[in-house]
Chain A
Amino acid sequence: MRNLKLIIRREYLARVKNKAFIVMTFLSPLILVGMIVLIAYLVNLNSEEQHVIGVNDESGIFVEDFDSSKDVKFIDLSNIELEAAKTIVKEKEYYGLLHIPQLQENKVPEIEFFAKEAPAFGFLSEIEKTIAEKLTNRQLLARGIDLEVIASSRAKVDIGIQNFSGEKTSKMSTYVKMFFGGAAGYLLMMFIIIYGNMVMRSVIEEKTNRIIEIIISSVKPIHLMLGKILGTSLAGITQFLIWVILGGVMLTVITAISGMSMAELHGPQQQAMEQISDNELQQLVIDIANLPMLLLLVSFLVYFIGGYFLYSAIYAAIGAAVDNETDTQQFMLPVILPLMLGIYVGFFAVIENPHGVVSTVFSMIPLTSPIVMLMRIPFGVAWWEIAISIAILFLTIAGVVWVAAKIYRVGILMYGKKPGYKDLYKWLKY
């Protein structure tokens, strides 16, 4: 026990004192924020460019309906021949030319758009919508229907979702659940891959340094292995906590700054808009508050520990089996595959049907259960299902740690040979 503590301490300090670790811990939140700012800036830049579109409307009915905006400017080229309009557009390097032929008996005309490159999808559908609306109205008028009547008889439906125990939910809540479940599952996967790799590298390091036999003559291999896994996970938790704190600080700073700029912009229009979004925001807050937060947090912790242990033990065994990092490739696939599978099942099957057969089965299989179950929990999972899943997970961990320890014990003293799966199986019996 005393040795285990010593090992955990050393492993923890070795990770935390590492320059790369320190740099990554403090730099990656900045990089993340920088990326978001950069992307926002680029998107803004992209849409700031105003496209100029020539409109050749032979009937002259539609052209006035195209309102120029910040993004698009429409120029009326209706009074000239199509070919002449084309040349103008080409010469003046306009973005494109919209050609609407003469209307014939209220039939939908064959509208064409000429451009050097295919225009954005959203842009085209906007134009289609404008023309379709105009045409519809014209046809309605032609058949003697009053537009006012239609406008006043249009109904707006919003289905309110309630579960049987009477709790109100909204469509929004599905997104909220998806977001929280997905974030938890994704975070878990990232943590497993990053810190599992750290465990593996630290095992390989001891082998290449040839210090392993000196250590093994003082401590049991299983203690060394567990010490490594625990020490590294503590380093990971430290990093995580620092990120949470940094994130919190940054969020406060950003909201403080953006809150001020919002206040400056307050006009009557803005207030009206905000009232609408306030309602939605309230709903969002209610939805988040309605999530089983405590359960989510506790199960995140449990699955986090379980999943991390399961995979770290495998990573440690792989590290022990090989001499250098390049040799690990052949063993990586069986580790990455279930993790990816978990994520994909989570993002497709769980979101489609959180309680379907696929989701349920994958939330029981120990290699995928930490990710898949975490994604399911926000949608509400029976406690006994979670209990069974956790029980299977921890039983598997016991088995995997036992097997990994055996491979580890033999592997750390093997040099020079690149082992295959067959060798690993043989080592189990030494």
Chain B
Amino acid sequence: MNNLLVAENVSKQFGNFTALNNISLEIPRGSIFGLLGPNGAGKTTFIRIINQITLPDSGRMLLDGRALQPNDIQHIGYLPEERGLYKSMKVGEQALYLAQLKGLSKAEAKERLQYWFKRLNIEDWWGKKIQELSKGMAQKVQFVVTVLHRPKLLIFDEPFSGFDPVNANLIKDEILQLRRDGATILFSTHRMESVEEMCDYMALIHRGNKLLDGEVNEIKRQYKSNTYEVGLMAARPENLRKELEEKFRISDTEFKSINDDLKLQIQIEGDASPNELLTFLTSRAEVNHFVEVIPSVNDIFIKTVTTNA
């Protein structure tokens, strides 16, 4: 059983609006899974179904191979996009309260909270009220509360919004550490950089439909077009350009370089090897830049969403 969470044909309607249409997903154990989609795609509805906040109209969710049960809430940690804390309650008090709601005993919750507060350097906030803290500070408290009960599945909805870069990095490292400790992580975001950086798997939903899913690298391989970015130093660049134009599909490109080179993107036939291109180029000019163009998640996202619009 390699998948921690499996969604089987999950659908959800709100009146006439289809929020999720027959979504099936598999989230492998120990992975960081990116759930992507534009605003209103159905990401939050999907996550709420995992958290049993909303019930699906049809289909089912399996956690560890079993259908989700009310008790499974203890195995899930959820940081919603719309998040906040009680303004007039003290930080320590409400962290204890939220931890107890997740099933921890008071003593246990207190011990773990002290550990985490020390770890994130926020021990002196214990007796403060939330209204005295900044937004970023409150977010740290929320993060602690989300992970405190050591859930198997962690769900972060736009986790970095509201953090300054220093704290965003701190939280990112903590998330990676949690993964190393055995947690499975589901990210919902429309920030592609973080998916690029952290996710092993991803799925793209748009208007309630799943457009693609799988391993990030695998998807990138599917979307690559055998295009290479090259920088060439030739005695007569115009001639070389003409010669290349006859053999390949080329286009101008820009990248940073200290030389005054001819900068091109060259696409080769699907079955051709990049080595052949390289051999050809070295015979004509000095090659000081040769990189395969890998589509970014951002490119894939925009391409898929616009072609399916």
Identify which of A10, A205, A218, A413 gathers the most chain B CB atoms within 10 Å of its CB. Answer: A218
- Which residues of chain B in 57-84 are interfacial with respect to chain A, using CB atoms and an 8 Å cutoff? 70, 73, 76, 78-80, 82-84
Contacts of B100 in A (CB 8 A): 6
Given A214-B145, A415-B82, A14:B89 Cβ within 8 A:
yes
Give the total of B residues in contact with A, Cβ under 8 Å. 26
Q: Is B86 an interface residue (CB 8 A)?
A: yes
Q: Is A138 an interface residue (CB 8 A)?
A: no
A213-B73 in contact (CB<8A): no
| Smallest Cβ-Cβ distance to A208: which chain B residue | B84
- Which residues of chain A in 1-60 are interfacial with respect to chain B, using CB atoms and an 8 Å cutoff? 3, 6-7, 10, 14, 18
B219 to chain A, nearest CB (A): 30
Contacts of A216 in B (CB 8 A): 51, 53
Contacts of A149 in B (CB 8 A): none
| Smallest Cβ-Cβ distance to A430: which chain B residue | B14
Q: Is B85 an interface residue (CB 8 A)?
A: yes
Contacts of A205 in B (CB 8 A): 86-87
Assembled-state Cα–Cα distance A6/B93 (Å)? 12
B78-A209 in contact (CB<8A): no
A428 to chain B, nearest CB (A): 11
Given A14-B89, A413-B53, A426-B15, A215:B101 Cβ within 8 A:
yes
Assembled-state Cα–Cα distance A221/B15 (Å)? 21
Assembled-state Cα–Cα distance A132/B53 (Å)? 82
A211, A413, A430: which contacts B84 (Cβ < 8 A)? A211
Contact with B along A404-430 (1 / 0, CB 8 A): 000000000101000000000010011
A7 to chain B, nearest CB (A): 8
Assembled-state Cα–Cα distance A415/B84 (Å)? 14
Contacts of A221 in B (CB 8 A): 53
Contacts of A218 in B (CB 8 A): 73, 98, 101-102
Assembled-state Cα–Cα distance A415/B82 (Å)? 10
| Smallest Cβ-Cβ distance to A213: which chain B residue | B80
Contacts of A3 in B (CB 8 A): 101
Assembled-state Cα–Cα distance A121/B142 (Å)? 70
A13 to chain B, nearest CB (A): 9
Contacts of A340 in B (CB 8 A): none
| Smallest Cβ-Cβ distance to B73: which chain A residue | A218
Assembled-state Cα–Cα distance A417/B84 (Å)? 19
Q: Is B280 an interface residue (CB 8 A)?
A: no
| Smallest Cβ-Cβ distance to A216: which chain B residue | B53
B97-A217 in contact (CB<8A): no
Q: Is A171 an interface residue (CB 8 A)?
A: no
Contacts of B97 in A (CB 8 A): 6, 10
A394 to chain B, nearest CB (A): 27
B85-A213 in contact (CB<8A): no
Given A210-B83, A211-B84, A6:B101 Cβ within 8 A:
yes
- Which residues of chain A in 204-233 are interfacial with respect to chain B, using CB atoms and an 8 Å cutoff? 205-206, 209-211, 213-221
A6, A206, A210, A217: which contacts B51 (Cβ < 8 A)? A217
Assembled-state Cα–Cα distance A214/B51 (Å)? 10
| Smallest Cβ-Cβ distance to B55: which chain A residue | A430
Assembled-state Cα–Cα distance A43/B84 (Å)? 54
A198 to chain B, nearest CB (A): 14
B53-A209 in contact (CB<8A): no
Identify which of B48, B51, B53, B145 gathers the most chain A CB atoms within 10 Å of its CB. Answer: B53
B85-A211 in contact (CB<8A): yes
Assembled-state Cα–Cα distance A415/B98 (Å)? 23
B82-A213 in contact (CB<8A): yes
B53-A213 in contact (CB<8A): yes
Given A3-B101, A6-B97, A6-B101, A214:B53 Cβ within 8 A:
no
Assembled-state Cα–Cα distance A211/B78 (Å)? 12
A350 to chain B, nearest CB (A): 43
B86-A209 in contact (CB<8A): yes
* Nearest 9 pairs of A and B residues by beta carbon: A210-B84, A213-B80, A218-B101, A209-B84, A217-B78, A217-B51, A210-B82, A211-B84, A216-B53
B binding-site residues for A, Cβ under 8 Å: 14-15, 48, 51, 53, 70, 73, 76, 78-80, 82-89, 97-98, 100-102, 142, 145
Q: Show 16 A/B contacts (Cβ-Cβ < 8 Å), sorted by A.
A: A14-B88, A205-B86, A210-B82, A211-B85, A214-B79, A214-B80, A214-B84, A214-B142, A214-B145, A215-B101, A216-B53, A217-B80, A218-B73, A220-B70, A413-B48, A415-B82
List 20 extra interface pairs beyond A210-B82, A213-B80, A218-B98, CB under 8 A: A6-B100, A6-B101, A18-B88, A205-B87, A206-B86, A209-B84, A209-B86, A214-B78, A214-B79, A214-B83, A214-B142, A215-B98, A215-B101, A217-B53, A217-B78, A218-B73, A218-B102, A219-B101, A415-B82, A426-B15
